Amino acid sequence: MHVASIGAGPATILFLHGFPELWYTWRHQLLSLSALGYRCIAPDLRGYGDTDAPSSPAKYTAFHIVGDLIGLLDALEVDKVFLVGHDWGAAMAWYFCRLRPDRVTAVVNLSIPPNRNPDSVLNVLQEVGKAEEEFAEVETGKMMVKLFTLFSKPDPPMVPRETRFRGLPDPPSLPSWLSEEDIQYYASKFNKTGFTGGLNYYRAFPLTGELMGPWAGGDCKYTVPAKFIVGDQDVAYGMVGLKDYIHSEEFKKEVPLLEEVVVMKGVPHFPNLVKPQEITQHIYDFIKRF
């Protein structure tokens, strides 16, 4: 497992990235929160960057990812952490809180609430090998730009039926929160590993749901203090039923210690990149209470 780490404070923050990202997506928060006195750790998750990438989708359930993270904390001799996740990193952070709340002081999750199946994306990406073949038809840097742009729109991802991912239009320019240097870094790592590891999170999601059966219903809730942040232009916020769920009593019932829900105006799916200082402040304002 490849890990970026900075800071030496008594409290540790563990950052979990999503797709199509790396530890690098948290670069702004690593610098700013370590400067505020925290030890900050951001791994490349299983299947990404310089971390091992098993080929089988069955090796990417939440149990595998949370197991990796527990192993990481044990290796670093860290007892408890503040968890911060985005996208699939948020999904894995929720599972971490469900399975090992004893290792989490509090959680701040971005974009993805717990137990929500990203059906519109699953249907496009689940077939093993097909998406990889389509991605390989486009230069990796261009594909990274296409993916960041696709997931930055408020509407659910629309992939042309005939041309699929290769048919996604090239945006006229990079968004202000991405530089050519950023794209080159992402591309250098995905050129090395391909996209299979990241795509396997989508493919393993139904198996995770099946294996979570023993935790269904009853008093098996998320018993960790939590803060949830989403942009009102986030593709996840616009998915069917998610906005209603985020503002519902059901969310508070599933996460009894949910203390804050923040909806950021005009912000798309990558708030930690689009509004890095604001996200740092949101994280800090919450975790400093503990």
Predicted local confidence at residue 122, as pLDDT: 55
Predicted local confidence at residue 180, as pLDDT: 95
Alpha-carbon distances of 20 from 88, 89, 92, rounded to whole Å = 10, 11, 15
* Those residues with Cβ within 8 angstroms of residue 130's Cβ, 6 or more apart along the chain or in another chain: none
- The CA-based angle 229-159-51, given to 5 degrees, is 60
Q: Is the pTM of this model over 0.85?
A: yes
Query: Which residues of the chain are under the pLDDT cut of 70?
Result: 116-129, 157
Predicted local confidence at residue 120, as pLDDT: 47
Burial class (CB in 10 A: 0-12, 13-18, 19+), 102: exposed
Is the preceding omega at residue 118 within 30 degrees of 0, hence cis? no
Chain centroid to Cα 108, Å, comes to: 11
Catalytic residue positions, numbered: 87, 202, 269
Where helices occur in 84-167 by DSSP H, the ranges are 88-99, 119-125, 130-136, 140-151
Burial class (CB in 10 A: 0-12, 13-18, 19+), 277: exposed
Predicted local confidence at residue 154, as pLDDT: 83
